[in-house]
Structure 1
């Protein structure tokens, strides 16, 4: 097998591994969501808020950008999560056109209640990888993500 064929095979293997990982992560997110009595997209919205909130709440646009979904979907789902007492949505003091969304204490308590299971799951998923290995892997994946966005843009405008 030539060098180009080996690279093509390695890329194909990588892509199928990512597809498999994505599929397994979807199942895991569905499981966490079911434990909280919400949908998988709602779980992901809550996790995005938890990730990017620095104590002042986050905008729906920031959540949509993090998850790569439409802001209107975030608005619709955060209203439902607010009705369930899991999110707080307040008008931004800087700009009344925007809401600041944050997790409620109820949501934080429910997520904390899952922490032992989440730690056990992470230990299972990343068995054999130490912190340095994960850091290295994350840097490589971030680079691939950036390059894949560029490739997607080039494909969509007909450059590739």
Structure 2
């Protein structure tokens, strides 16, 4: 590193470095959400479902716990995601007050395409 770059970096407040590092994941999430046409919080619901769902769906309270948000928020946002064809909502065990969420094929295709793009952009992680 050259002396001028070193001096410039040394002059930056430490908090700026931490702030810039913590902003990066948010920018990535915003980029992928925008590419799909949803807001960041809805994108996070879709990602959480992709992570949690093993083919049988996931109760709203499990998604809300993973995201550390109120279940009513997930319920409200899932209505909008369902209307756009990104997920399915069904009552769990016939109880209409307990919803189970699952991703649609459309969403799985989008997430797979994003995963391929991510691998091309950032390199595929080694096993």
- Shorter-chain TM-score: what band? 0.7 to 0.9
Aligned match of 2:32: 32
Equivalent residue of 2:123, what SS? helix
Q: Distance in 2 between matches of 1:60 and 1:122?
A: 32
Give the number of the structure whose residues are more often strand, by fraction. Answer: 2
Give the number of the structure whose residues are more often helix, by fraction. Answer: 1
Please identify runs of 4+ aligned residues in structure 1 that moved more than 2 A. 19-22, 94-97, 120-124
Q: TM-score, normalised by structure 1?
A: 0.63
Q: Distance in 2 between matches of 1:59 and 1:22?
A: 30
Q: CA RMSD in A?
A: 2.4
Aligned length: 113
Task: Specify every segment of 5 or more residues in structure 2 that has no aligned partner in the other structure, as ranges.
Answer: 1-13
Task: Specify every segment of 5 or more residues in structure 1 that has no aligned partner in the other structure, as ranges.
Answer: 1-12, 132-160
Q: TM-score, normalised by structure 2?
A: 0.77
Residues 22 and 36 of structure 1, relative CA distance in 2, 3 Å threshold: same
- The CA deviation string for residues 77-107 of structure 1, in whole angstroms up to 9 with x for no partner, is 1110000000000111275431110000111
Q: Aligned pair 1:98/2:103, yes or no?
A: no
Aligned match of 2:115: 115
